[in-house]
Structure 1
Amino acid sequence: MNIIKNTMAIAALCLAFYSADTYSKEYKIVLIHGFQPQQLISDGDVSESGQNYWNGYWDNLSDARIDWPSYERIEEKIATDYIWPKLKAFSESDFCSPGCIFVTHSTGDLVARYIIENQETWLENAGLAPLNIVATFDIAGAGGGSELADLAVSVAQGTESWTFIIEAALEACLGGQLSDEMGVLHDLKVNNARQLAPLPDARIPRLRFVADASDFLGVTSPFIQGHDDGVVGSHSSCGGNRQGHYGSCSSQVDFNGKVSNQGNAVSGFMPYHYPMLMSKDYAHLSVLEQQHKGKVTAASNHENLLSGEGVHFDTYTQTTGWWLWKSNYLYVENSNEDSMSTLIYDAIPN
């Protein structure tokens, strides 16, 4: 009996070590979620909504979250009542001493930019040390705004005529009817988003991970400039420094991985914004999940964190066709099996 008990204890101890090693990373992972349209209809519990947002993959792999309500504005209560208490707690506990990586999705990209612009000043004014943020991993980033937010606000304010097509697009994106509460949608209007903390002094790398499919059968795409993931255009998700009808984050690789000149690629980027992975098969929501959707290509396969440590993706080239019809495709290793989120997490230094 003692032998059995000892064997079970050793097995449990080994499992604990294995699990800790499996999910342990060198840097702390902080999640910042995106716009949650249901909060415009029913406030709900902000923390619970934040946890539910990441359920499925990222929540179990993270060390902390910064939750915020979509019915508020970024420079107002989101900053004072939700961002600041978290930053203060992080500083007081030396949470980011080993380095923090902010993993953002959608509007979380814009929230992170506002944090990067202000966190050092806020914390130093409170007599606290600034956070050691070594990078952000921005998935389907909406830091450049979304034309759907412009459309929603215009319809709500009566400056845009209501049509069946507009109704279908907004209901697909918002998950229901418009309400009088617009909250962060005002911040997500393209011009507003691009004017919010546009040039932070901090040189924190903003690594971009971009999708090009739609969760909504393409019904939202006619209202978004350029290629899109159903919610944000590539001008935003790639980190472009201006709005435009862009077809890729890279001048050399298409969203589908084809290696060829991309004449309509994003030509200029916001400071320290670096596109890394792209895929034509993932959409705005599915890019967060563990389910594999298709192969992934690389706009860039290597970038450095602020610490100097590298984030790297192994790639390979696949050739199809023959002679004049021959084409080369660039793919990320293991993307034929692993989801984009899995590839992203695995690339975070251990």
Structure 2
Amino acid sequence: MLNGGMKWMFLILGTMIGAGYASGRELWQFFGHESVLAIALFTVMFSICCYVIMKISYETQSSHYLPILERLVGKKLTGLYDLLIILYLFTTTIVMFAGGGATMEVLHFPYWIGIGVLAILVVVLFFWDINGMLSMNAIILPLLIILLLAVLLLFIKSNVNAMLFDWMKQSNWPAAFTFTALNILPLVAVLSAVGHQIKHKGEILIASIGSGVILGGLSFLYNQSLIQVAHDLLVYEIPLFAILKSYPYYMVLIMSFLLWTAIYTTAVSGVFGLTARFRDMVNLPLWIIALIIVTVMIPFTTFGFSTLVAFLYPLYGVLNLYILASILIFPVLKRYDLLS
């Protein structure tokens, strides 16, 4: 049960910790000053959402997200959210590829080299279907989290003011709802695809609470660090490098690798959500479906990483508020038999 719970926890973290999150761009877009309460609310809501989605997936033994959407938003809205999930996964995975290119630029490689290498590695992983992705997450995610946590703690140690905040000034608390809503659709898409592989209800509890606590704690430390370098963020495409500006160059290299692996895990999750949706509609090997999807995505990366994050993420955060509300009230409706 513990191993299963950890496996799904890393799947959730791999879906969440991508280019936008690991770079700091997504956190700064939603949080920033006076956001400690917002991050606490996000932690609780995120854990609840993961639990509800996984529990429905387990009960329906789902292999893609359509049955889950029907339970959450009803048959009338399922078609709309099906289209929205496809669009979301498509556009946010483009953001991952753009982030891969931006990361390689920091190391003085051409933008297109970073995108091309990332695209090839994403497609290759699908030769092993979902097992390849789960194995990759189990190896990469613990290392990624430990490295990011170490950098943030070292930065906070040298900036003691980073941990100071006023509980009476938490005006940004509504950002918790849009930030959680932003990340709902990929969770629905990815977790719905593994419902038939969940063996025990205990796995759901471990995965949902574990991922919520890790993400909440990491988000708090990251946001408090970004506040200390807020004046530099306008000149950095990737906010993480504003934190690293006084560090030795080898730290920049290590964190560039960390960021790139975070981008990779989320790009894989996005493509997996799309392939799971379409694999029953086309009689093709999974890696070929992935290759087609990735090939269509690449031309759209010309818009640039920060531009895509700044425009798309707040937009999706607002559009997803309805499905967030549906997930949060689902246990109440089910308990009192109010579901149609």
* TM-score range normalised by the length of the shorter chain: under 0.3
Structure (1 or 2) with the larger CA radius of gyration: 1
TM-score normalised according to structure 1 size:
0.23
Query: Which structure dedicates a bigger proportion of its chain to strand?
Result: 1
- Say which structure, 1 or 2, has more relative contact order (CA 8 Å, 6+ apart): 2
Query: Which structure dedicates a bigger proportion of its chain to helix?
Result: 2
TM-score normalised according to structure 2 size:
0.23
